[in-house]
């Protein structure tokens, strides 16, 4: 199993550009989520999904869109990039949305917005 994969690893955007961060998992997990991590800080939840076709907002959803058309994929879209969105983005998946299950994280995408 590849686990959770993310592409690209690095990306530089200009202010106002849009892009999609890709996330895929091959573990047939129902629950997937996106976090951002700013320097010296913990992770903050952006959006999450408890199954195909179902998404919801996390702690910091503004400026980001998600969709979940398949169990495997959970892309994160930046609509109009801003310098405040410079961060490292992590995708995670879990067998279930229940609290007893652990999450598996991808390697991250390092995004810089100039």
**For residues 11 and 20, is the Cβ–Cβ distance under 8 A?**
no
DSSP 13-70: E-TT--EEEEEEESS--SEEEEEEE-TT--EEEEEEEEETTEEEE-SS-TTEEE--SS
Which residues, listed in sequence order, are joined to residue 111 by a DSSP beta bridge? 11, 87
Q: Which is nearer to another protein, 14 or 42 (CB)?
A: 42
Options 52, 71, 72, 104; binder of another protein; rule CB under 8 A: 104
Is there binding between residue 2 and another protein (CB under 8 A)? no
Residue nearer to another protein on the CB measure, 33 or 85? 33
Residue number with CB closer to another protein (16 or 98): 98
CA dihedral 48, 53, 54, 57 (to 10 degrees): 50
The window from 21-29, 64-72, 78-86, 92-100 that contacts another protein (CB under 8 A) reads 92-100
Q: Is 52 in the site for another protein (CB under 8 A)?
A: no
- Say how far apart CA 93 and CA 74 lie, in whole Å: 10
44 binds another protein (CB under 8 A): yes
Question: Which positions touch another protein (CB under 8 A)?
Answer: 4, 31, 33, 35, 40-45, 48, 50, 56-59, 90, 92, 97-100, 102-108
């Amino acid at each position: 199993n590849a686990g959770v994969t993310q592409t690209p690893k690095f990306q530089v955007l200009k202010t106002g550009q849009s892009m999609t961060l890709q996330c895929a998992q091959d573990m047939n997990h129902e629950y997937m989520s996106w976090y951002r991590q700013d320097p010296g800080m913990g992770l903050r939840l952006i959006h999450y999904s408890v199954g195909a076709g179902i998404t919801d907002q996390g702690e910091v959803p503004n400026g980001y869109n998600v969709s979940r058309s398949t169990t495997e994929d959970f892309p994160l879209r930046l609509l109009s990039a801003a310098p405040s969105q410079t961060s490292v983005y992590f995708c995670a998946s879990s067998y279930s949305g229940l609290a007893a299950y652990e999450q598996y994280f991808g390697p991250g995408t390092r995004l810089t917005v100039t």
